[in-house]
Structure 1
Amino acid sequence: MKSALYLCLLLLGFHVQGLPKPSHSEEQEEQKAVHCPGDHAHGEGEKRSHCKIAPSNAEFAFRFYKQVAAEGGDKNIFFSPLSISVAFAMLSLGARATTCHELHKGLTFNMTDMEEQEVHEGFRDLLQLLNDPHREVQVSMGNALFIDDHLKLLQKFLDDVTNFYESEAISSNFQNISEAKKKINDYIEMKTHGKFVDFLKSLSSDTVMVLVNYIYFKGYWEQPFSSLLTKEDDFFIDAKKSVKVKMMHRSKAYNVYRDENLSCWVVEIPYKGNVAALFVLPDEGAMKQVEDVLLKETVSNWANSLKSRKINLYLPKFSISGCYDVKNLFQKMGVKEVFGDQANFSGMTESTRLKVSKATHKAMVDVNENGTEAAAVTVVEVMPISLEIPPPPVIEFNRPFMMLIFDKTTSSILFLGKVMNPPPITSTSH
């Protein structure tokens, strides 16, 4: 039985463009302006490379969240900023000139502070740490390039995506759309443990390459909720509307912070394996003011302010998903050329002009008590008798809240979301 299951995908479709290839001299001038990727290795001794990219990845996460929230209205939000960052950073290996510059800027990498090589080394380090099979938490993240049989990619690009991003290069026949689509969908279904079946509904006849990034996470709470304490309760979507949910309950010590300036509670619930969920509960009517200042500095302040204290915690069981047109969102964030006829992927292929025609991201989450396995344990807690103290605060997530899944090993935000309207209890709910 699982306590939480998170999956997400990013699909990038590449489109053939019948455009004239820039002359050799033009291409050289463009690459002088914004050199990408860096070809010079920088040894950093024992310092872990992922630390250098962590601040930019966090900044991108909140920037993308705000773009989604601005368009989402009262919808649930759930996505993996890391999945999107990895996919587009890998894509930048083949980008040149303005196309590359826009990608770096969109991903919030300040290329005056670091070399392009360091970005890719950082992601290589991050992927190795996330995929470590010896971790208590199950995390798997990977990439694949489905490449048309007739598309000739530069060996340097193929070597780089394998070296930095552990990407598989899978030869595909895009002249046979149904065959290519089935191959991609079978791969996605396998890598996401059957959670995404027939994910790719259609494929353009002009497609010559599809990039897939997947992340799969299964975590067990360090201290599971007891299903015996889960009761039916109200979740207030707004002042006038509520739905019935299965509300979990636990009265224990958690790392908690009350942010009086932003009028919200922050509760950290740890998973086994150095990963934690941060649940943020704004006071009624305070969601927007919290979202407006959702920055890496804000979350860092929350994390540094957490203190262990006993609380009466109420958290609903819920399953939500999100599906996003990343192309549309990126264009609104200033990343445009990669999707247009001026796209420069001359670091990927010399023989064909390419542009990204489609970018789709989908994620899903399931949060519950952690169920029951075939085991039993008896725990007797002994504590000193103390003077009468005020009762612990009640923190009840019975109204819209935000959640953030943070991997402490890599300092990475794996997932970010907002629960506005959890699915109500149905007669078939367990």
Structure 2
Amino acid sequence: MKSVFYKILLLAGIHTVAHSQLFTDHNNRHEPNEPKPHMHHGGEAVACLKLVPNNADFAFELFKEVALEAPNENIFFSPVSISSAFAMLALGARSTTQTQILEGLTFNLTEIQEKEIHEGFHNLIHMLSDPENGVQLNMGNAIFLTEKLKPLKKFLDDAEALYQLEAFTTDFKNPTEAEEQINDYIERKTYGKIKNLIKDMDPQTVMILTSFVFFKGNWEKPFKPEHTEEREFFVDAKTTVKVPMMHQIGRFDFYFDKELSCTVVRLHYNGSATAFLVLPAEGKMKQLEQTLVKEIIQEWSDHLFQRLVSLYFPKFSISGSYEITKTLSKMGIVDVFTDHADLSGITGTSELKVSKVVHKAAVDVDERGSEAAAGTAGEIMQLSLPPIIEFNRPFLMLIFDRDTNSTLFIGKIVNPTVTS
């Protein structure tokens, strides 16, 4: 099966503050939270390892906030891209603004130095983008500035070296032209999957920071298209929809969590990525999404075992678009959105603030996969019928990178037929 993920983070509309002037495993598998780097990444893995618990905490705290704001909607976002983008913004932040950003990303600044955070993200981005991982995962950042706003050379040099930042001059006085320039850049970087990202740009905008991630992976055990059939998906007690349900019988990593009343199935991609599919019992989704923390993922990993099952999993294409300014404020990142913001490390002036944060993500799931993938050949089946696990009601989908222990994507699929 091929699964494709596209995501954009937009730190939209960085404005000048009023009255200012513009200046320029188990089963031989590696689990999440258990580092097993490629040998040539030894030093980088050590730096990444320091970020693992904090990035995981941020991912699940953000998921809880988003789930509370959208209780009955599909959710899909990329925690690692949001955290790396704000870590990059912290390069240009000073005083309380910087502290709030880093602590909002759940870093304890008495236990880890700012320099270590930036080095960790630099190595994380490099490792995730390594083609030897076996999946296609591209991450990057860009800054679009008005010609009169001159960024400090140190900020540009550090952001380019640590976060692969590209810088472009943009005529924000011509909003149509500026939107076209930025949208074309994002569309190109996401292989045409994210189009017309920016609309109705605020006329006061003087700078836009963007961050993107593109992911494409093939299942180790692809589903056969001829086994896909239309079946019912129970959105809620009153709503049932028909969805194309993929199917295969095979041995999968499996666990049933009695405390949280949920079934966990783990599917591997070729390479370093893996997916946890989590099916809560009816009426247990809210409990699960508000309880989920990195320790639970680790517990699942520790207890997974190979079991022969008849697996039904829906094909779906969903996207998520979030204005997360208020969400991040609830998590402690406050001043950067107000006139108290200090982003003087970007331009030398503190008279800048972030006006809005928009996060967009999309996922496409179908049967396609690599024919050369290991483990795709016919498996020996038991004669007795295996238990059926059918993802025919709302479920969670968590995508991890095993080599860096990163939470790449978190999704809640409430209705597979709703695309956005």
What is the TM-score with the length of structure 2 in the denominator? 0.90
The equivalent of 2:96 in structure 1 is 98
| Contact kept in structure 2, 1:152 and 1:351, CA below 8 Å | no
The equivalent of 1:403 in structure 2 is 397
| Contact kept in structure 1, 2:220 and 2:376, CA below 8 Å | no
CA apart distance, 1:108: 0.7
CA apart distance, 1:135: 3.0
Say which one has the larger Rg: 1
Q: Which amino acid aligns with 1:327?
A: T
**Residues 107-156 of structure 1: per-residue CA shift (max 9 Å, x gap):** 11111110000000000001111111333211101001111111021111
Cα 1:220–1:62 change in 2 (3 A) is same
Among candidates 166, 178, 181, match of residue 180 of structure 1: 178
- Quick one: distance in 2 between partners of 1:9 and 1:337? 23
Single out whichever of 278-287 and 329-338 deviates more from structure 2: 329-338
Q: Does 1:159 align with 2:157?
A: yes
The equivalent of 2:38 in structure 1 is none
- Quick one: distance in 2 between partners of 1:286 and 1:248? 24
The equivalent of 2:27 in structure 1 is none
- Quick one: distance in 2 between partners of 1:172 and 1:71? 34
The equivalent of 1:169 in structure 2 is 167
Q: CA RMSD in A?
A: 2.3
| Contact kept in structure 1, 2:44 and 2:123, CA below 8 Å | no
Q: Which stretches of structure 1, 4 residues or longer, exceed 6 Å deviation after superposition?
A: 371-375
CA apart distance, 1:46: 6.9
Among candidates 318, 341, 344, match of residue 342 of structure 2: 344
Single out whichever of 196-205 and 74-83 deviates more from structure 2: 196-205
Aligned residues: 397
| Contact kept in structure 1, 2:48 and 2:123, CA below 8 Å | yes
Cα 1:380–1:179 change in 2 (3 A) is closer
**Residues 264-316 of structure 1: per-residue CA shift (max 9 Å, x gap):** 00000100011011100001111122112100111111112111111111101
Provide the secondary structure at the position in 2 that maps to 1:366.
Answer: strand
- Quick one: distance in 2 between partners of 1:378 and 1:266? 21
CA apart distance, 1:380: 5.8
| Contact kept in structure 2, 1:15 and 1:355, CA below 8 Å | yes
The equivalent of 2:2 in structure 1 is 3
Q: Which amino acid aligns with 1:241?
A: T
Provide the secondary structure at the position in 1 that maps to 2:151.
Answer: coil
Q: Which amino acid aligns with 2:6?
A: L
| Contact kept in structure 2, 1:405 and 1:414, CA below 8 Å | yes
Cα 1:268–1:209 change in 2 (3 A) is same
Provide the secondary structure at the position in 1 that maps to 2:139.
Answer: strand
- Quick one: distance in 2 between partners of 1:415 and 1:334? 22
**Residues 225-258 of structure 1: per-residue CA shift (max 9 Å, x gap):** 0111111100001122100000111110011111
- Quick one: distance in 2 between partners of 1:268 and 1:231? 22
The equivalent of 2:15 in structure 1 is 15
CA apart distance, 1:45: 5.9
Q: Which amino acid aligns with 2:14?
A: F
| Contact kept in structure 1, 2:320 and 2:360, CA below 8 Å | yes
| Contact kept in structure 2, 1:227 and 1:371, CA below 8 Å | no
CA apart distance, 1:378: 10
Correspondence 1:19-418 to 2 at 5 A? 48-351=46-349, 353-370=351-368, 379=377, 391-418=385-412
CA apart distance, 1:379: 4.6
CA apart distance, 1:382: 5.9
Provide the secondary structure at the position in 1 that maps to 2:131.
Answer: coil
What is the TM-score with the length of structure 1 in the denominator? 0.88
- Quick one: distance in 2 between partners of 1:345 and 1:379? 55
CA apart distance, 1:47: 5.5
- Quick one: distance in 2 between partners of 1:288 and 1:379? 39
Cα 1:424–1:59 change in 2 (3 A) is closer
Cα 1:46–1:131 change in 2 (3 A) is closer
Q: Which amino acid aligns with 1:75?
A: E
Provide the secondary structure at the position in 1 that maps to 2:243.
Answer: strand
| Contact kept in structure 1, 2:145 and 2:170, CA below 8 Å | yes
Provide the secondary structure at the position in 2 that maps to 1:48.
Answer: helix
- Quick one: distance in 1 between partners of 2:60 and 2:181? 34
Provide the secondary structure at the position in 1 that maps to 2:347.
Answer: coil
- Quick one: distance in 2 between partners of 1:379 and 1:288? 39
The equivalent of 2:28 in structure 1 is none
**Residues 365-422 of structure 1: per-residue CA shift (max 9 Å, x gap):** 01111169799x9956568xx8x8x743211100000000101111101100100111
Among the aligned pairs, what percent are the same residue?
50
Q: Which amino acid aligns with 1:17?
A: V
CA apart distance, 1:176: 2.0
Provide the secondary structure at the position in 1 that maps to 2:46.
Answer: coil
Q: Which amino acid aligns with 1:165?
A: Y
- Quick one: distance in 1 between partners of 2:178 and 2:126? 29
Cα 1:381–1:422 change in 2 (3 A) is closer
| Contact kept in structure 1, 2:222 and 2:376, CA below 8 Å | no
Provide the secondary structure at the position in 2 that maps to 1:347.
Answer: helix
Cα 1:243–1:214 change in 2 (3 A) is same
| Contact kept in structure 2, 1:173 and 1:180, CA below 8 Å | yes
**Residues 160-182 of structure 1: per-residue CA shift (max 9 Å, x gap):** 10111011111222222222111
- In structure 2, the gaps of 5 or more residues are 22-41
Q: Which amino acid aligns with 1:142?
A: G
Provide the secondary structure at the position in 1 that maps to 2:63.
Answer: helix
Q: Which amino acid aligns with 1:14?
A: I
Provide the secondary structure at the position in 1 that maps to 2:203.
Answer: coil
